[in-house]
Chains A and B, each alone.
Chain A
Amino acid sequence: MMQNLPWLFLVLPLAAAAVDWLLLARSPRAAAGVSIASALVTLALCIAYLCGMQTGAPAAYAWFPAQGFDLNLGLLMDALSMKMMLVVTGIGALVHIFSLGYMKGDPSNLSRYFAGLSIFMFSMSCIVLADSLVLTFIGWEMVGFSSYLLIGHWYHKDAAADAAKKAFITNRVGDFGFLIGILLTLGIFGSLHYADMAGHMKVAAGSPVLTAAMLCLFCGAVGKSAQFPLHVWLPDAMEGPTPVSALIHAATMVAAGVYMLVRLQVSMGLDAFTDTACCVIAGIGAITALLSALMAAQQDDIKRVLAYSTLSQLGYMIMAVGLLAGEAAMFHLYTHAWFKALLFLAAGAIIVRCHHEQYIWNMGGLRKKMPLTVLCFLSGTCALVAVPGFSGFFSKESILEAAWERSLPLFILGIIVAAFTTFYMVRLCLVAFCGKARTHEAEQAHEPGFTMLAPLFVLAILSIISGYGFVADQLVPYAEFHAESAEWSATLFAGLGALIVGGGLAWLIYGRPASLAAKSDPLGANRFSRVLRQRLYIDAFYDRVLVGGVQYWFSCLVSCVDDGIIRRLIGQGLGLLTAWAGHLLGRIQDGSLRGYTMMTALGVLILMLILIILF
């Protein structure tokens, strides 16, 4: 009985979601209580396991046993998954609590909101604890679904409904590749269970099939972790409630792609990641990091800046995976989860206190109005831009070091991205927090309540200390992880240089009194800035070419078949034919009795003739 305790990680949130949805639809307070209780219990369970509680391997559930191919759904309880669970349940619990304050007074149905959060916790736990690609895929689709629900929580807003649809459809593109990758994996390894993969590769290392399989699996990560060219959904997903953005679109779900790739690296072995695949993975990661850092530099919506920054940090992680530095990727995933959740939650607190104002040029002077929140935001910022001593510094260093060892171009790209990261974060902080309040709403802002501040404090502490060896060695989701102490190396100097250059540049542009009083970006008229504001025209390109082009012409073709063949030819055509035949045959029914008799007689005669001729 005790050995099946880990199944609670899945059952509890699912049950909470069901209860919220089915029984407590009219009592949001009770629904919130149920969801928060389930999040806290799973967190406690996770901490208990990490403290050394042993319950033996949980029993696997035989889903469909077939001859020679038994599909079992089981849980994998190793350092990687359990420490990842700590990140998921930890941030999950904090976000649940924060939501209480954030959603207070919101007219939408809060039971639906908390049911969505719980179902997300269930799906994410599914991905993290899965012992086979099948269960991972189930969780994969389920997080997509819950993300859809939560982005579209305010579905009466067109932008939110569209963003939810965009996220779901874009993810489907990646998931399609992922599914093919899973089938290829089954062919190559003969099993989908992570434990049975190592050493069972049936093809030669470096063979094209293996590359294809890896790239298809990577497709899934491209969709879920919003890598170029499927990154377009993540910034739009900011239409959802901010705690959701913190939990799903910053800390956990979007990191699932990285987690899945690292899980594959651990279980398949590094041989499985062929040179070509690694090149593509690292390249896509670096491109995403660079492009989204550029786009973040000219966003005016506080959440969008953070969204693009998430994209760029995910790019770092994917790059690390491509460089075969799984431990660096997981290290950054782990620190990023804390500080990005912190940044989003602090941004959420600011947004709520500014009466749902997200445009940073309408803020200003907030450091005096809500100093604690701003302090938390700043500690998150310091971690993100890798100020020495904060958690992000250690993890970013480890990624940059991996790049330094293996590929100089990627290292240079990484440094450029780091400089841009500092630039846009310093810009954001200067505009939103310094100077004077630009609007009446910002003037009235004040500190949020305890339910919102408490999670911020916890996360702020974690985003400062989580990078140090004594914490990281215990908590980074990787077996046998050892944080290396910082040395005076080339990467350190390059990182510090990027920090100073980016920060200094932002200070020069946005720190001037004129900029601090401006109501819009002083660089806004610049042609380069316009391109960045238009998101490098990638979204517009998709709108034109995919939606306006391919989809339009395809819909024309479909409507040709639908309207021309099915409606006109089959629907109307057959109808007309029947009517015409009926009209013609109706002439025979003229009501003359003699005519009928004649017909009958003639018919009999003809039948007789036929019979005589035939027999």
Chain B
Amino acid sequence: MTPLSHYLIFSALLFSIGLSGAIMRRNVLVVLMCLELMLTGANVALVAFSRAQGLEGVPVYDAQVLALFVMAIAAAEVAVGLALIVAMFRARRGVESTSLTSLKD
């Protein structure tokens, strides 16, 4: 059986990759994908803890329910986010986050 720490390291990696992508990329579409990565990382950790806390092969389902919630919310977020990005692309012919300065100027 794979020890818990492997899952956690994997989850932390996913989260970090997502975070660094969200910080560094300019393309809003990629930023959205990176956000999904971060959520996935968190989900992995949740499920891993759920297994680790369980007794005799029966996991603690609370955490898994939470993971399902996160997925549902991520799906909704993507729906909204993609719609925004499409609207943005239509309005500006581009999806660069650095170009969103009309309020500042």
Contact check, B26 vs A591: say whether CB atoms are below 8 A apart.
no
B82 within 8 Å of A by Cβ? no
Q: CB-defined interface of A585-600 with B at 8 Å, one 1/0 digit per residue?
A: 0000011111001100
**Per a CB cutoff under 8 Å, which of B22, B98, B100, B104 touches A597?**
B22
**Per a CB cutoff under 8 Å, which of A592, A598, A601 touches B98?**
A592
Distance to closest chain A CB from B32 (angstroms): 12
Contacts of B20-57 to chain A: CB distance below 8 A: 22-24, 26, 31
**Per a CB cutoff under 8 Å, which of B23, B31, B97, B103 touches A598?**
B23
Q: CB-defined interface of B51-86 with A at 8 Å, one 1/0 digit per residue?
A: 000000000000000000000000000000000000
Contact check, A591 vs B101: say whether CB atoms are below 8 A apart.
yes
B contacts with A: majority SS: helix
Closest to B98 in A: A592
Contact check, B24 vs A593: say whether CB atoms are below 8 A apart.
no
Closest to B101 in A: A591
B97 proximity list for chain A (CB < 8 A): 592-594
Bound-state Cα–Cα, A590 to B31, Å: 19
Distance to closest chain A CB from B43 (angstroms): 18
A contacts with B: majority SS: helix
Closest to A592 in B: B98
Contact check, B100 vs A591: say whether CB atoms are below 8 A apart.
yes
Contact check, B103 vs A591: say whether CB atoms are below 8 A apart.
yes
Bound-state Cα–Cα, A355 to B100, Å: 87
A592 proximity list for chain B (CB < 8 A): 97-98
B26 proximity list for chain A (CB < 8 A): 594
Contact check, A593 vs B100: say whether CB atoms are below 8 A apart.
yes
Bound-state Cα–Cα, A144 to B23, Å: 79
Distance to closest chain B CB from A590 (angstroms): 8
Bound-state Cα–Cα, A593 to B19, Å: 13
Q: CB-defined interface of B82-105 with A at 8 Å, one 1/0 digit per residue?
A: 000000000000000110110110
A598 proximity list for chain B (CB < 8 A): 23
Number of interface residues of B (CB under 8 A): 12
B101 proximity list for chain A (CB < 8 A): 591
**Per a CB cutoff under 8 Å, which of A590, A591, A601 touches B23?**
A601
Contact check, A594 vs B23: say whether CB atoms are below 8 A apart.
yes
Size bin of chain A's contact surface: under 10
Bound-state Cα–Cα, A598 to B101, Å: 18
Distance to closest chain B CB from A257 (angstroms): 77
Distance to closest chain A CB from B14 (angstroms): 15
Closest to B26 in A: A594
**Per a CB cutoff under 8 Å, which of B19, B22, B31, B104 touches A591?**
B104
Bound-state Cα–Cα, A535 to B92, Å: 91
B23 proximity list for chain A (CB < 8 A): 594, 597-598, 601
Known contacts being A592-B98, A593-B97, A594-B26, is A601 close to B19, with CB within 8 Å? yes
Bound-state Cα–Cα, A593 to B26, Å: 9
Closest to B19 in A: A601
Bound-state Cα–Cα, A597 to B31, Å: 11
Bound-state Cα–Cα, A598 to B97, Å: 14
B22 proximity list for chain A (CB < 8 A): 597
Closest to A599 in B: B23
A594 proximity list for chain B (CB < 8 A): 23-24, 26, 97-98
B103 proximity list for chain A (CB < 8 A): 591
Bound-state Cα–Cα, A592 to B103, Å: 11
Bound-state Cα–Cα, A601 to B31, Å: 14
Closest to B22 in A: A597
A590 proximity list for chain B (CB < 8 A): 104
Distance to closest chain B CB from A443 (angstroms): 89
Closest to A598 in B: B23
B100 proximity list for chain A (CB < 8 A): 591, 593
Bound-state Cα–Cα, A601 to B23, Å: 9
Bound-state Cα–Cα, A590 to B103, Å: 11
Which of B23, B101, B104 has the most chain A CB within a 10 Å cutoff?
Answer: B23
Bound-state Cα–Cα, A590 to B98, Å: 11
Distance to closest chain A CB from B7 (angstroms): 19
Distance to closest chain A CB from B102 (angstroms): 10
Distance to closest chain A CB from B17 (angstroms): 13
Closest to A589 in B: B104
Distance to closest chain B CB from A70 (angstroms): 72
Closest to B34 in A: A597
Q: CB-defined interface of A579-615 with B at 8 Å, one 1/0 digit per residue?
A: 0000000000011111001100100000000000000
Closest to A596 in B: B23
Distance to closest chain B CB from A305 (angstroms): 83
In the complex, 16 of the A-B residue pairs with CB atoms within 8 angstroms, ordered by the A residue number, are A590-B104, A591-B100, A591-B101, A591-B104, A592-B97, A592-B98, A593-B31, A593-B97, A593-B98, A593-B100, A594-B26, A597-B22, A597-B23, A598-B23, A601-B19, A601-B23
Which A residues form the contact surface with B (CB < 8 A)?
590-594, 597-598, 601
Q: A591-B100, A591-B101 are in contact. List 5 more A-B contacts (CB 8 A).
A: A590-B104, A592-B98, A593-B97, A593-B100, A594-B23
